[in-house]
Chains A and B, each alone.
Chain A
Amino acid sequence: MKKRRPVVSIGIVSLITVFSILILAVFTVLSLSGSRSDTALSETAARAVSDYYAAEAEEEQKLKELSAIAESDAEIPLEKRLEAAGFEIEKDNNYPGTVVIYNTSVDGRRMLVTKVGIGEQGVVERLYRQTISTGQ
């Protein structure tokens, strides 16, 4: 009986080709996913830095506002003027003056806590600043 050869032949050459293509595809996908995760990481880091400096700029604006309040007309007591402007006053016996604490949101997960001292002459002094996690 005569043996018939199939129309599409699968020989050793086809097997090597399929194997090569498979390896090529795997390395390509790995390379692409690696570069994508790198891009995502870089963009996240860039956004985090931008958010931090934006919050810091907002905090500096508040500090300027606070300084203006401290230097303004002293007919009304300083603490009342600060409370009227929405600033929180903290009791601190170690500081010879008024201590104000305020928060600025950095992003959904971080907050910039600033502690400012106002001296006898209405001079504003940066006492403490820290980024804390809000745990969200």
Chain B
Amino acid sequence: MNESSKSRYFLAELLMNCLLFAVSAAVCVAVLAHANIAGKKSAALSMAVSEAQNVAESVKASKGEPQLLGTLLDTKESDGVYTLLYDENWQRLFDGSDAVYELRAVVNIDDNMLQSDISVADGEGAIYTLRVLRYLGAEKGESV
């Protein structure tokens, strides 16, 4: 076998392997991108649950007093709706610029029952929703 034939075989092998690697890399990159998106979504869900729970406890602690709830959430009320904005790292935004996530808490009192519908959403839609009820007619004992 002469040198020219050897080089031809080597080149064919090299091309074949390059093609195989390119196909495998394309599949793997697509799967990794999918895993990355899924990871970001699960992180967003965890944070949304945590923030919604925090607001729910603040709503319960406020006992339906709008001013106290506004102080606890560090935001202003507008027709019984409290809006909290967050950036992509879940840091609170107070001016509304570059907000990625929005938490809305709709609070109302109906027949001595404090109700609050809390929803956390991003640009694509709702991530998590929570409904909180608190009966205001009962006094709070020491153990609760």
Are A and B a genuine interacting pair, yes or no? yes
A13 with B14: in contact, given A31-B35, A42-B46, A64-B137 (CB under 8 Å)? yes
Residues of chain A within 8 A of B31, CB atoms compared: 28, 31-32
A53, B132: Cβ atoms closer than 8 Å: yes
Task: Establish whether residues A53 and B131, one from each chain, have CB atoms under 8 Å apart when the complex forms.
Answer: yes
**Contacts of A31-59 to chain B: CB distance below 8 A:** 31-32, 34-36, 38-39, 41-43, 45-46, 49-50, 53-54, 56-57
Task: Tell whether, in the assembled complex, residue B32 and residue A31 are in contact, meaning their CB atoms are under 8 Å apart.
Answer: yes
Task: Summarize B's interface: helix, strand, loop or mixed.
Answer: helix
Closest Cβ–Cβ distance, residue A23 to chain B (whole Å): 10
User: Which of A41-100 touch B at CB < 8 Å?
Assistant: 41-43, 45-46, 49-50, 53-54, 56-57, 60-61, 63-64, 67
Binds A, one of B17-25, B68-76, B91-99: B17-25
Q: Does B56 contact A (CB under 8 A)?
A: yes
Closest Cβ of chain A: how far from B36's Cβ, in Å?
7
* Residue B141 at the chain A interface, CB threshold 8 Å: yes
B88 CB–A CB distance under 8 Å: no
* Further contacts, 16 of them, CB under 8 A, given A13-B13, A24-B28, A127-B144: A11-B10, A11-B13, A16-B17, A17-B21, A32-B32, A35-B39, A36-B38, A41-B42, A42-B49, A43-B42, A46-B45, A49-B52, A56-B133, A64-B111, A125-B140, A127-B143
- Point out residues on A near B: beta carbons under 8 Å: 3, 5, 9, 11, 13-14, 16-17, 20-21, 24-25, 27-28, 31-32, 34-36, 38-39, 41-43, 45-46, 49-50, 53-54, 56-57, 60-61, 63-64, 67, 115-117, 123-129
